[in-house]
Structure 1
Amino acid sequence: MKISIIGAAGFIGRHLLQSLLAKHCHIRLLQHSTTSPAPVQGVTHYRGDLSDPLTLGPFLDGTDVLINLAWPTAAEEEPQQFAGHLASACIENGVKRLVHVSTAMVIGRPETRTVDENTPPKPRSRYEKSKLLVEQNLRTSLDSQVDLAILRPTAVFGAGSRNLEQLARRMLAWPLWSRYLLRFVYGQRNMHLVPVEDVVRAIELLAFHGSPLLGQAFIVAQDAHPMNHYQGVDELLAPALGVPLLRSKVRIPAPMLHALLRLSRRSQDDPRLHISGTHLASLGFVPSRNFERAVAEYGRWYALQKQLSP
C-alpha cells in the first residue's frame, strides 16, 4: 500500500511514521526544504509545495491514501485556498482516499454537555472556525471524487507534545500552595486528553478501512476515562515528575467554574463537557486502556528533558 503523508515532521507525524514503518508500508513524505534528509528504509522524500499543486505530481502519483497533518503556515493563504489546493492535488493525481486530521475543538461552544460527531459545531475562535472551514471546503471540493475521512482528535499528548507542558512546568517550578489552589479551582474539569498512540491507531484504521468513508468526521477521545480531569491528571503526573502527591478533592462547584471560564471567554467553558467518538466505535475502534501509563510516561519524559536542559 502506498501512503503519502503531508506534515510528517510534526508531533503526530513523527509517531505515525514510526508505527507505519513497523507495518512495512511504502511511505512517501513531502518536504519543503532543499536539505536532503537522512535515508530511512521504506521512506521516499519528495520536494514540493502544497500551495502549488502542480509540484505534487511525483509525490502523489499512485497514492492509495494521503494523510494530511499539515495546516497553512503562510499568512497569505486562507483556509479556503488551503483546502482547494489540497483537493485539487488529490483529484488531479488520482489519490484514492484522503485522511485529513482536524481537531475536535471545532465543536466550539455546543448547546449540549455530551457531544459526538453528530453534534452541530458552534465554533467561536478564529482557530476553530478555520479548522471547520477547511473540513467543509474539502467535502465540497472533493465532491466524492476522492474518498474522504476527517479525524478530530481532542487534546493530543505524548513525548514532545505541547499539551500537558504548561501543567508539568507549573508542578515542577511553582510552590506547593499554588498546586492546592489550582486543584481547588479546576477540580474535576475535563481535560479532554487523548494519548498520541490512540490518534495514530485511529489514523491507521481510517487509512486501511476497506469500505468508503464518505466524508464522515471521526472523533478520537478518552473523555470516558475516570482520571481525565484536572485533579486526576495532577495525581498521575506527580510521581513521574518527582513532586509531592496531593490527594485533596476539595473544589469549587462546577457551575461556579463554568461561570469563571465563560468570563474568560473560553470556547469550551463547561468543565463537565464530555466528548465521545461514536463513529470510530462503529468501525471497531476501542480506546487504549493505557491512559494512566501514558500520562506517567509523559511526566517522566518531561522531567528528563528538564534535567538535560542547561
Structure 2
Amino acid sequence: MNTEINEIEHEARDPFKQRLVVIGGTGFVGQHLLKSLVNLGEVFDVVFAVHRNEPIWLSTSSIQVRKFDLADSTSLERILNSGCIVLSLLRPDGSGWFLPAVENVLLACRNAGVKRYVHVSSIDVFGASPSRICTAASPISPVTPYEREHAAAEKLVKTVNAENFEALILRLGAVFGVGGLNVVSFIKEASSAPGWKLALRRSLYGARRMHLVSVERVVEVLIFIITVTPIVQGETIVVTEDSDTNNNFAYLQDCLMEIFGRSAVLNMPYLPPTILRFLLSARGISNTDPMRRFHDDRLSQLGLSDSALFTERLKNYLKYLKAAV
C-alpha cells in the first residue's frame, strides 16, 4: 500500500480504535513485529511512521504507512492523536542525529496527548559497568558513541512527566532471527574452519555469555508492553534470555557443529578469562566480562511468563542459516 493512499485513507479509519504508531521499524525487528500487528488490526489502528525509504515488505502490507521528518516534530504530531500508543524502534549509529530526533519525538508525543510511549533501547548502555549481574537498577557506564547516544536518549525519556504521558524503556539483548545479523558470523567458521581453529575458539570463549534473545521473544514483549498496566513511570525493563543456561558460546558452537555434521569440540580446557578480557579490551569492546549476565523479573511481575523457547528458536534459526549458505 503506497504512502499517497495512506494519506487519504488514514482519516477514514475507525475513529473508535486506539491508534498504535510504530516509529522507525524498517529493520528486521520491525518486519517480524509487522506480522503480529496485522493480527491486531481489529483492536488497533496501526500506523508505521517512517522517516526513510520504506522496505518492500512494509509497502506491500495492509498496514498504514505515513512519512514524517525527524527534524520536524509537527510532521510526526500530525500522525499521532490523543490517547494513542507510540512504540519507537529508532536506533542510533553514533553519528549524532539520534538525540535530537528523540527530543522531537517526545515533543510530538506531548503536544499530541499520547497515552504511552515505549522507547526501545539496548543492553549496550551498560558498557563498562562493573556489575557481574546487570539488572535495570545496575549502574551504566557507556563508552562508545553508540552506547552514549542510547544512554542520553534514555535520560530524556526518564524525565517525561507522568502528567504528559506514560513512558518506559526496553533494553534489548542481542536479537537473533531471520533477517538479523547476530550469530551469522559464526556460520562460516563452523562450516569450513579447520578443527584447530574451532578448538582455539572454544578454549578462548568457552562458556562466555552471549546475551541472545530471539526476535520472536522480542515481539512477544513489544505486543505485551504496549498496553500492560500498571507501569512505573520512566521504568526500565531488560529484555534478554540470559536465564537460559544454554545462552553461551560453548552451546552455540555445539549446535553449529551438529548442524554441519562436524565432530564436536568437547573437553577443551578453557583459557584463563583474563586472556579473553585483554583481547576484548584491545578490540575496544566495553564489556570485557565474559561471564556478565542480565536479569530482570519485571516482565513476569507484570504477567508475561517466560516462553522457555530459547533453545528451540535458536536451533531453528541456525538450521535456517545453514540452508541459506
- Distance (whole Å) between structure 2 residues aligned to residue 249 and residue 282 of structure 1: 40
User: What is aligned with 2:13?
Assistant: none
- Distance (whole Å) between structure 1 residues aligned to residue 196 and residue 94 of structure 2: 43
With over 3 angstroms needed to count, the CA separation of the structure-2 counterparts of 1:12 and 1:78, relative to structure 1, is: closer
Q: Which amino acid aligns with 2:289?
A: D
Q: Which amino acid aligns with 2:226?
A: A
Query: How far off its partner does 1:237 sit?
Result: 2.6
User: What is aligned with 2:79?
Assistant: 59
Query: How far off its partner does 1:73 sit?
Result: 6.3
Question: What residue ranges of structure 2 are gaps of 5+ in the alignment?
Answer: 1-17
Deviations 1:77-133 (A, max 9, x none): 252x12211111111112111111000111112222111001011111111111000
User: What is aligned with 1:50?
Assistant: 70
- Distance (whole Å) between structure 2 residues aligned to residue 285 and residue 237 of structure 1: 31
Q: Which amino acid aligns with 1:167?
A: F
Matched, 1:31 2:50: yes
- Distance (whole Å) between structure 1 residues aligned to residue 197 and residue 272 of structure 2: 19
Q: Which amino acid aligns with 2:154?
A: E
Q: Under a length normalisation based on structure 2, what TM-score does the superposition of the two structures give?
A: 0.86
For the Cα contact (< 8 Å) 1:46–1:58, is it kept in 2? no
- Distance (whole Å) between structure 2 residues aligned to residue 23 and residue 193 of structure 1: 27
Query: How far off its partner does 1:188 sit?
Result: 0.6
Deviations 1:202-242 (A, max 9, x none): 11221021324301000011112111111111112333345
CA RMSD of aligned residues (A): 2.2
Comparing 232-241 with 130-139, greater Cα deviation is found at: 232-241
Q: Under a length normalisation based on structure 1, what TM-score does the superposition of the two structures give?
A: 0.89
- Distance (whole Å) between structure 2 residues aligned to residue 238 and residue 295 of structure 1: 14
Deviations 1:130-175 (A, max 9, x none): 10001101222x3321210100011111111111011122222422
Q: Superposition pairs for residues 213-232 of structure 1, below 5 Å?
A: 213-232=232-251
With over 3 angstroms needed to count, the CA separation of the structure-2 counterparts of 1:266 and 1:32, relative to structure 1, is: closer
- Distance (whole Å) between structure 2 residues aligned to residue 138 and residue 168 of structure 1: 38
User: What is aligned with 2:22?
Assistant: 5
For the Cα contact (< 8 Å) 1:149–1:206, is it kept in 2? no
Matched, 1:202 2:221: yes
For the Cα contact (< 8 Å) 1:241–1:300, is it kept in 2? no
User: What is aligned with 2:193?
Assistant: 174
Comparing 114-123 with 248-257, greater Cα deviation is found at: 248-257
User: What is aligned with 2:317?
Assistant: 298
Query: How far off its partner does 1:243 sit?
Result: 4.2
- Distance (whole Å) between structure 1 residues aligned to residue 143 and residue 306 of structure 2: 28
Which of 259, 280, 284 aligns to 1:240? It is 259
What SS does structure 2 have at the residue aligned with 1:300?
Answer: helix
- Distance (whole Å) between structure 2 residues aligned to residue 84 and residue 269 of structure 1: 32
Query: How far off its partner does 1:7 sit?
Result: 1.8
Identity %: 26
Query: How far off its partner does 1:74 sit?
Result: 9.8
Comparing 54-63 with 265-274, greater Cα deviation is found at: 54-63
User: What is aligned with 1:22?
Assistant: 39
Question: What residue ranges of structure 1 are gaps of 5+ in the alignment?
Answer: none
- Distance (whole Å) between structure 1 residues aligned to residue 52 and residue 201 of structure 2: 43
What SS does structure 1 have at the residue aligned with 2:201?
Answer: helix
